Amino acid sequence: MAFDLSKCNFSRCKGECLVRCPYVSYDEDEAKRAVRALIAGEPHPILKDCITCAACNDFCPRGANPWDLIAERQEETGVLGIPADAKPSSDWLTKPATVIRRGKPGGPLISAGGIYEVVPQAEFLTGQVFSDATIIGGGPYACGFTETHLGRASRPVKFLPQFIENLARTAKEFGVDEIVFTHDACYNVATTLAMQQGVRVPFRPVHILEYIRNWLRDHPDRIVNPLDIRIAVQGGCTTRYAPKGGDREIWSDWLADIFAMIGVTSVEEKRVYTGVDRLCCGCGIFHTQHERAVDIQRKNVQDAADAGAEQLLFICPACISVMRATCRKMKLEPIYITQLVKCALGEELGPAGTAAFGYPVK
Ligand code: SF4
Ligand code: SF4
């Protein structure tokens, strides 16, 4: 999570970072001009045009992390600002620590981070998989990665030691040595970022997908309703920071295991916008450039439908909150990971349904 100037070598790349950006149309010369300007601290339209998806970190063949340079300049220049409509994001960081639901002694400790009300975690984290879990949320447990979409990319780095300390204290209080994260932003901050910054993490961070995969593996007899369904997956921006297993982001293996156990067929290999070329949910510009965000969502949803998907699966609460309305309009059912698993376990979805329609989006 830092631009590495020593790796950015214009004679050994084709400007892939911005040539491959799906949201601008730059040729190699313009791409390199833009990166040069950013390195020199000069203004460039990319600062405003960038929708903060982090994909260019994956596109750069040299591993220079150009998105982190863009984010740094966006913060310095205030070019994105924090619009009034986006204020709830900042509010999440100031909410008091809360026990959303108290589980059983010895049960898992799950952190829903700061955005636990974006999708109603108290309703989604229910059923057999979560029956023993204690769920916590609030500002002290918010990694702050959402701020990267709002021109304050330094926030997760600055808050990192406090974030880890808050979680470690709570883990001790509940007598556990691992914490499950519902948002992969928190997971990636507690793993990748903590490692990069040399911050010791005295508990084991567990991704929600790893937790679900392990639970299903330990309870194969509970899968009473194999789904036999074709599904596309919305991979979030924060998943790009996940620890990698070989050339794959680690979460994709957990998800593949879950799909195999509950009878889901992924259509991702038939999609245009998949893997590192996956499209962003548009949350970074949802309030400031709403029509542009919805256009991106339509392209994304259409691509999933064209690949034969019957549902679009979401892991990230932010992604589903901003995309579910477009999914509904385009008749591709959005479904949150916990609800998908409940279907396979033959459980009722409750009032939240597959995607908590009825909760305000915009
Ligand atoms: S960030 Fe990577 S792709 Fe972009 S100009 Fe530098 S080396 Fe080339
Ligand atoms: S972060 Fe995404 S939108 Fe911004 S320049 Fe990189 S690829 Fe393009």
List pLDDT tens digits, range 141-200: 999 888 888 888 898 999 999 999 999 999 999 999 999 999 889 999 999 899 999 999
* Closest residue by CA, ligand 2 atom 5: 50
pLDDT score for 91? 67
Compute φ and ψ for 220, nearest 5 degrees. Answer: -60, -25
Q: From CA 349, how far away is CA 343, in angstroms rounded? A: 7
80 CB less than 6 Å from ligand 2? no
Ligand 1 mutation pick, 4, 6, 10, max ligand atoms within 8 A of CB = 10
In 13-86, where does DSSP find H-type helix?
16-19, 28-39, 46-49, 55-59, 66-77
* Closest residue by CA, ligand 1 atom 1: 66
Between 290 and 84, whose confidence is greater? 290
> Would you give the DSSP letter of residue 192?
I
pLDDT score for 249? 78
Atom of ligand 2 nearest to the CA of 54: 1
- Structure confidence by residue, pLDDT tens digits, 89-130: 666 677 888 898 999 999 999 999 987 777 777 788 999 999
CATH architecture of 215-344: 3-Layer(aba) Sandwich (3.40)
pLDDT score for 362? 43
pLDDT score for 89? 60
**Which of 1.20.120, 3.40.50, 2.60.40, 3.30.2000 is the CATH number of 84-207?**
3.40.50
pLDDT higher than 60, residue 358: no
* Closest residue by CA, ligand 1 atom 7: 8
Burial letters 164-189, b for 16+ CB under 10 A, else e: bebbeebbeebebeebbbbbbbbbbb
Q: pLDDT tier at 317 (50, 70, 90 boundaries)?
A: confident
186 Cα to the center of ligand 1, angstroms: 27
Report the half-sphere exposure of 322 (CA within 13 A, side-chain side). Answer: 25
Ligand 1 pocket at CB < 6 A? 8-10, 13, 15-17, 32, 35, 60, 62, 64, 66
pLDDT higher than 70, residue 232: yes
Domain boundaries, the chain: 5-77, 84-207, 215-344
2 Cα to the center of ligand 2, angstroms: 15
38 CB less than 6 Å from ligand 2? no
* Closest residue by CA, ligand 2 atom 4: 50
pLDDT score for 123? 83
Fold: same for 84-207 and 215-344: yes
Residue in 76, 75, 55, 77 with CA at minimum distance from that of residue 67: 55
